[in-house]
Copies of this chain bind each other. A is one copy, B any other.
Amino acid sequence: MKFSFKNDYSEGCHPNILQALTETNFEQEAGYGEDQYSLQAKTLIKKKINSTDSEIYLVSGGTQANLIVISAILRPYQCVISSAPGHILNNETGAIEATGHKVLSIDTEDGKLRPSDIIPVLEGHGNVPHQVMPKLVYISNSTELGTVYLAEELEELSRFCRENNLYLFMDGARLGHGLTCEINDLTMEKVAELTDIFYLGGTKNGALIGEAIVINNKDLQQDFAFNIKQKGALLAKGRLLGIQFMELMKDDLYFDLAQHANVQAMKIKHALKERGVQFLSDTYTNQIFPIINNDLIAILSEHFDFFVWKKIDEKSSAIRLITSWNTGDEPVERFIEIIKRELQ
């Protein structure tokens, strides 16, 4: 079988998790997230963000987290602002709209939203009450294009949102990758401080399932648990989520795993750059989008699975390569070898 660079959820989970599941398996625990492991996991996350005031809920996946958060926060006539390659826009089968809310799409170069992107949206929605009311800004870090927010950028966006009475929600399906990449200058603490709500993704960083929703804005905490249950996301055996996040947060395993994925991607990136290859976006996380010619794509496809992301011209396309917490050195070296051989 070919090695796959298609995504970061091809393998199972970090072995520590399976070991902990096995060790605790026969203990009787309270259901629905009241188990001791969920409580421990939450304590570890609160320590990491240095805030005991935030509330934390563990759910299964990213689409689930997005639809619960957004439908819980917004009033029926309020809508979401998202940058154009936002996951909620085109990859979740209209999950947000299914809860009744419009998602306004903003085209951006690099997948990141800036106040200057949002101002025209606000200005274009003043015809009260004939238009939806923009109320929540949805961003991802790292973004769908693998890019990251620098501290200054997130601070500016956060300030803008607060000044304009907008909520800031960060989809952190790949937050680990964002916070451990070489150009990052954000911390978990800073993220919690600057957003109203965010989540920490487990599924794409070493867990079997699991995203940890962190609610920092106290106004948004009230009765949140009802929404989790109503959307079918409250697991009877909440221990499954608790144990995973407990293990991931211990000794910063979560961040080590993400950094490993980033490092593997950067090895390939540097090899490509040395050969003069251009990229669709300038990324430092576990996703890279090199633009290569079709012959090379054909050759690489014989040995690896990956997505052809975007046709650039008749002769070349951008491909997407994703590495994971479990991507070993062997496939990376093999990939680089082919690159070196073919791009002399």
Contact = CB atoms under 8 A, between A and B. Distances in A.
A129 B93 contact: yes
Nearest to A33: B129
A95 B98 CA distance: 12
Contacts of A228: 129
Interface in A1-32: 1, 3-4, 7, 9-13, 15, 18, 21-22, 24-32
Interface string A84-104: 000000111111011111110
B28 A93 contact: no
A237 interface: yes
A240 B26 contact: no
A66 B27 CA distance: 29
A238 to B, nearest CB: 10
Contact of A11 (B27, B68, B209, B235): B27
Contacts of A321: none
A325 to B, nearest CB: 11
A101 B129 CA distance: 20
Interface string A173-210: 00000000000000000000000000000011000110
Interface string A201-236: 001100011000000000000010111111111111
Given A232-B67, A236-B61, A237-B208, A132 B94 contact: yes
- Interface residue SS majority, chain A: loop
Contacts of A309: none
A336 to B, nearest CB: 19
Copies in the complex: 4
Contact of A131 (B3, B26, B93, B237): B93
A102 B92 CA distance: 11
Contacts of A236: 7, 9, 61-62, 203-204, 209
Contact of A132 (B9, B11, B66, B93): B93
A72 interface: yes
Contacts of A62: 236
A231 B232 contact: yes
Contacts of A231: 67, 95, 98, 231-232
Interface of A: 1, 3-4, 7, 9-13, 15, 18, 21-22, 24-32, 60-68, 71-72, 75-77, 79, 90-95, 97-103, 105, 127-133, 203-204, 208-209, 223, 225-237, 239-240, 326
